[in-house]
Structure 1
Amino acid sequence: MPTKPTYPGVYVEEIPSSVRTITQVTTAATAFVGHTRRGPLNKPVRVTSYAEFERRFGGLTSQSAVAYAVHQFFCNGGSIAVIVRVAKAGSGKAASVTLDSTEGRSQCPVLEITAREPGVWGCGLRVAVDYDTPAPEETFNLRVFDARGEAREFFGGLSMDPCHSRYVQTVVNSGSTLVRAEVVGEGEGRPDPSGTVSKPFSGNLPDLGVELTVKIGDTEREFVLYDQDEDGEAPCSVAELALLLERKLRALPDAPGRHDFAAAEVTAFGNRLQTVAGSNDPEAVVRFVGECANDLGLEASVNPPVFALEGGEDGEAPGPRDLVGSEARKSGLQALRDVDDVNLLALPELAAYESTEDMITVLAAAQRLCREERIYLLVDAPAAWSGVDAVRTGIAAFEPVRSSHAGLYFPHLQMTDPLTGRLRSFPPSGAVAGVIARTDGERGVWKAPAGTEARLADVHSLSVRLTDRENGLLNPLGVNCLRTFPMVGPVVWGARTLEGSDARESEWKYTPVRRLALHVEESLHRGLRWAVFEPNDEQLWQQIRMNVSSYLHTLFQQGAFTGGTPREAYFVKCDHDTTTEEDVENGVVNIVVGIAPVRPAEFVIVKVQQMAGQFTS
């Protein structure tokens, strides 16, 4: 606010700067769309490492080209990937289990636990229920275990009452990444606890000096519950009885290779006991048999230690329609419209398509998305292209989808499959995306992602070994070749767009030129939002010129443009010449930006001249 002078002297005011910074957006966040082992369907998920991809999407499987492409992306220097899992429509089923309750008049289902995502992976999940809460007669706890038997999630103090602050559906569905909960039936009563639960002990504990027989699965053992000479003072409370029984069970010999007794747990809740075998095997049911066990009431209810989810089915690999998706439902490729930062797109499954028509259908939809969202598409050569002649014949099919927003890469990579240890052919888009990300980080988006620095990590060989002559046949067609050179190894040896064939003479011939332009466009698109609803006058135009010029000058200093001076490298116009009175009346401000991008030195020609004689001084 302006300072109001009240006394003679010097006043200091801080005036906000009129220059608003335009931040450079990301350049190499790569989207992978296709089939994975698990994960949410048609929902973009950002991952920053392959370990995170394994946790969210299940890791490598021979049925998923996307999983291998993501692995190669991170191995070659990628840092941000956006995964969209797609499955064939109508396929796939989530594993589930229905928990019953005997608290009502009769046994009835009350709670259904379902894996959060479809797939066989959900069959490895287990859930356990106990009543060890501050209100053991009203609430319950729910634990979720993974396929390794490790406890992954815990939800305590749950209630079946919709009005309760810890209503099971609300708490689990908002907090779990593994399962969803749904109250079924009339929801009367809580789900029965896991393991074996006793009847309530009232008043003083009964005589505990009895011999008990316990069975876990097929293993049966006998023991004396309380011996004064061995155990000392007798238990006086249910909690002390729980400790005694747990100690006795853990001292019993286990079956070979089992830990059912050794890791058994006995918990006291209220005035009851819950006994659970030390195993996540649903068959490891604890049973106390005999007259003494009945007298103590150790078997009011008997359940397995965990309840296993069943019935999960993997979705089938998506077809062309599934990959294209629906813009209305935001499925398939169209799910990327909800993501702000995606710069590259890879569809590794297309390389295996036998039908060229299906491939072109998906590529057409992908390129339309890329034009609208300012994304660059990495196209894998079809697996059927086994040589140069096949490429020269098959490239004609790509005429309908030749675009400056895409680049085609040939041939495929020969790499060791981590699942089998054998060499196998893989489409190159994942590895190329990693090389692009690495190049952007080291040199900038204006550097061609090709050359001896563009090495392909962990690549044993290429499916087709190209010579210089063969490379010279494909490069003018807009095909980016992968080559192998002595002392260097496999590298990316082309940086053209699909529109970059010599016959087209396109101004967007080179990949780095197109990607630099996309980078500038997206940065300006986001960085100038502040101008919306500002007064459309000379003051606004001056601020826009200052902001855009400052941004472009930063790129110039980094080496993105040609020219020895800023005037030769870029210009920004925003004044009465670009914005007429009619534009002002219509609320339009026009900004004209020109840049002189650096083009790659695709052909380095060295001329050698032999000296005819010797010169003497």
Structure 2
Amino acid sequence: MPTYTAPGVYVEEIPSSSKSLSAAATAIAAFVGFTEKAPTDDPINDPDGVRPRLVTSWTQFEELYGGFAPDCLLPISVYGYFQNGGSVAYIVRIPNTAPAGEPSAVALPAMDQLANKKVLITSVEPDAALSVRIDPADDEADDAEDRSGPSPFNLSVVEGGAVVETFDNVTLAPGDRNVETVVNATSTKVKVKVAIDDLGALAEAQIMKVGTFALEKAAGLPVPVSPRKFTGSETTRTGINGLTIADEVTMVVVPDLATAARKADGTYDLGLWKSVQTALIAHCELQGNRMAILDAPPGMTVQQVKEWRAEQAMYDTQFAALYYPWIKVDNPAGTNGNSEILVPPSGHIAGVWARTDETRGVWKAPANDTIRGCLDVERPVTKNEQGLLNPIGVNCIRPFGARGIRIWGARTLSSDSDWRYINVRRLFNMIETTILDGTQYAVFEPNDQELWAGVTRTLTAFLNGLWRSGALFGTTADEAFYVKCDAETNPPESIDEGKLVVEVGVAPVKPAEFVIFRISQKKPEI
């Protein structure tokens, strides 16, 4: 309390004993797999581009990682995620190629396209990570040049974000300041070749385009990817475990597991498949705020999937959901002359999860909804066949004629009936994260009745809002949830240990998985 010594009017601010809670984000996906190229936005701390990057659109993904590419399922999955309603995603690149051992190169464009004269820049060292920057020459040097010839320019070589070589006032014209002559005489980083076409006379008016241009590395040689590379390391921020730093992630997808597990004969290494998915499940269980969206191996019949799930995979977790079969989408890469391509459904499913969260809420089961961009399924599943898969937690994707192709399952891989449904697990993830983040103000506050009442009001207001939104079951708030924080949950010995214990109970809504109408004949009364 302040000490007052002089007469006057004083104003004191008293902090409120209760706060408002805002629901945590629920629709942020993370994708782990292969990409066309590595991002070059952080050459100092992450030269290989393997650490998690945040993207909020397909355009941003293309800028960082390139577009569609053969043997890369991650770009197609990310595209399907944004197509189906996703808006925020983390990308973790797994290197799947070795350096080609060839020079990096770039052809610099010119402003005067009629002249069509190109400047080809190649690196001296193979697989070098370099850029070249073109700037206009300074005014004094420009005045000294022959105005009738091509405009002079400055060429700089950039490595690791810093300029390592600079060549001022060079031109495309023959002579002592010709860019090819000047650079090749002294540079230890790059070589220059000026390509002249049949329009040599027009080339005299050539003006180099200003800007920074990265030298592209030659296509790498494919190398096998082990489960350990997918698992990665929390310390180095790589692979699945590198997502530990992304606290807000709620869904994790590994679509390129299918690429890595595919053998030369077209079959799949199911041991590698299980190893990577087990590591993904372990990561989600350890973090406690996210779920894994798993793909069943392709090419399997219903009987084979049932046997694989029950006898080989044997997953039992509330933090993962499994989907079958694969889906057909338009072939964006145009490889092998095919207009359609089979892809794992996990990326598209993540988009549907995000769309459901946005339109209905995380408490709505992400099922009985169509998949945008899905042309067909790998193998149609009948009602009786799904009767074999649904009890063991395999969510089916089924065509329903005029109703489209729909997700027809909403189960986790847990044998515990409390956590049978995806929306229940994700609702609790959201509630727990919201409470964890929103009650930090209570740490080191006096542990007395005033704090107990404030925390109770804070949590009650938040849970009441969820109940009114339809997230909790019950005709009254008392039926839907309770918050208990009093002398019973906080006895003296607990207070002496510095603990504040709050009991929270909620009754989540569960999906109407089996809708049953009992119909009978009504006998007329005589």
Q: What TM-score does the superposition give when structure 2 sets the normalisation length?
A: 0.78
Q: Secondary structure at the match of 1:487?
A: helix
Aligned equivalent of 2:341, options 412, 415, 424 = 424
Give the root-mean-square deviation of aligned CA atoms.
3.7
Partner of 1:409: 323
Q: What TM-score does the superposition give when structure 1 sets the normalisation length?
A: 0.67
Structure 2 Cα separation of the partners of residues 310 and 551 of structure 1: 52
Structure 2 Cα separation of the partners of residues 21 and 87 of structure 1: 44
Shift of residue 96 of structure 1?
Answer: 4.7
The code of the aligned residue for 2:215 comes to L
Partner of 2:272: 358
TM-superposition CA deviations, 1:239-276 (whole Å, max 9, x none)? xxxxxxxxxxxxx5x5xxxxx45x612xxxxxxxxxx5
8 A Cα contact 1:350 1:382, kept in partner = no
Partner of 1:342: 249
Structure 1 Cα separation of the partners of residues 448 and 100 of structure 2: 58
Figure out how many residues of one structure are paired with residues of the other and give that number. Answer: 465
Partner of 1:603: 514
The code of the aligned residue for 1:462 comes to V
The code of the aligned residue for 1:460 comes to L
> Which has the larger Rg?
1
Structure 1 Cα separation of the partners of residues 222 and 498 of structure 2: 51
Shift of residue 113 of structure 1?
Answer: 8.2
Aligned equivalent of 1:520, options 409, 417, 431 = 431
Shift of residue 16 of structure 1?
Answer: 3.8
Structure 1 Cα separation of the partners of residues 469 and 69 of structure 2: 42
Partner of 2:366: 449
TM-superposition CA deviations, 1:41-84 (whole Å, max 9, x none)? 32111111112111111011122110110111111111111111
Partner of 1:132: 137
For residues 14 and 474 of structure 1, do their structure 2 counterparts lie closer, same or farther at Cα, with a shift above 3 Å needed? same
Aligned equivalent of 1:590, options 483, 491, 501 = 501
Q: Secondary structure at the match of 1:483?
A: strand
Structure 2 Cα separation of the partners of residues 43 and 114 of structure 1: 28
Structure 1 Cα separation of the partners of residues 488 and 139 of structure 2: 75
Partner of 2:172: 195
Structure 2 Cα separation of the partners of residues 532 and 114 of structure 1: 58
Aligned equivalent of 2:283, options 341, 344, 369 = 369
For residues 413 and 526 of structure 1, do their structure 2 counterparts lie closer, same or farther at Cα, with a shift above 3 Å needed? same
For residues 61 and 133 of structure 1, do their structure 2 counterparts lie closer, same or farther at Cα, with a shift above 3 Å needed? same
The code of the aligned residue for 1:437 comes to A
Partner of 2:65: 57
Partner of 2:42: none
Shift of residue 363 of structure 1?
Answer: 1.5
Correspondences of 1:143-542 after superposition (within 5 Å): 180-181=161-162, 183=164, 193=170, 195-196=172-173, 217-219=196-198, 252=201, 254=202, 260=203, 264-265=206-207, 309=215, 311-314=217-220, 316=222, 318-352=225-259, 353=261, 354-373=268-287, 374-385=289-300, 387-397=301-311, 399-420=313-334, 422-451=339-368, 454-499=369-414, 504-542=415-453
Shift of residue 607 of structure 1?
Answer: 1.2
Shift of residue 7 of structure 1?
Answer: 8.6
Structure 2 Cα separation of the partners of residues 53 and 538 of structure 1: 51
Structure 1 Cα separation of the partners of residues 13 and 365 of structure 2: 45
8 A Cα contact 1:119 1:314, kept in partner = no
Shift of residue 539 of structure 1?
Answer: 2.2
Partner of 1:106: none
The code of the aligned residue for 1:426 comes to V
Structure 2 Cα separation of the partners of residues 345 and 516 of structure 1: 17
The code of the aligned residue for 1:195 comes to L
8 A Cα contact 1:128 1:194, kept in partner = no
The code of the aligned residue for 1:217 comes to I
For residues 197 and 307 of structure 1, do their structure 2 counterparts lie closer, same or farther at Cα, with a shift above 3 Å needed? farther
8 A Cα contact 2:397 2:408, kept in partner = yes
Correspondences of 1:81-160 after superposition (within 5 Å): 81-88=89-96, 96=104, 127-130=132-135, 132-133=137-138
Shift of residue 547 of structure 1?
Answer: 1.3
Structure 2 Cα separation of the partners of residues 194 and 614 of structure 1: 105
The code of the aligned residue for 2:412 comes to T
The code of the aligned residue for 1:582 comes to E
8 A Cα contact 1:76 1:457, kept in partner = yes
Partner of 1:17: 16
Shift of residue 603 of structure 1?
Answer: 0.3
Pairing 1:69–2:68 present = no
Aligned equivalent of 2:56, options 42, 48, 51 = 48
8 A Cα contact 2:122 2:215, kept in partner = no
8 A Cα contact 1:73 1:434, kept in partner = yes
The code of the aligned residue for 2:281 comes to Q
TM-superposition CA deviations, 1:394-434 (whole Å, max 9, x none)? 11245543210000000110122123261221110011111
Shift of residue 393 of structure 1?
Answer: 1.4
The code of the aligned residue for 1:47 comes to V
Structure 1 Cα separation of the partners of residues 461 and 327 of structure 2: 43
8 A Cα contact 2:28 2:88, kept in partner = yes
For residues 94 and 479 of structure 1, do their structure 2 counterparts lie closer, same or farther at Cα, with a shift above 3 Å needed? farther
The code of the aligned residue for 2:319 comes to H
Structure 2 Cα separation of the partners of residues 402 and 468 of structure 1: 24
Partner of 2:110: none
For residues 569 and 132 of structure 1, do their structure 2 counterparts lie closer, same or farther at Cα, with a shift above 3 Å needed? same
Q: Percent identity?
A: 35
Partner of 1:204: none
8 A Cα contact 2:322 2:395, kept in partner = yes
Partner of 1:249: none
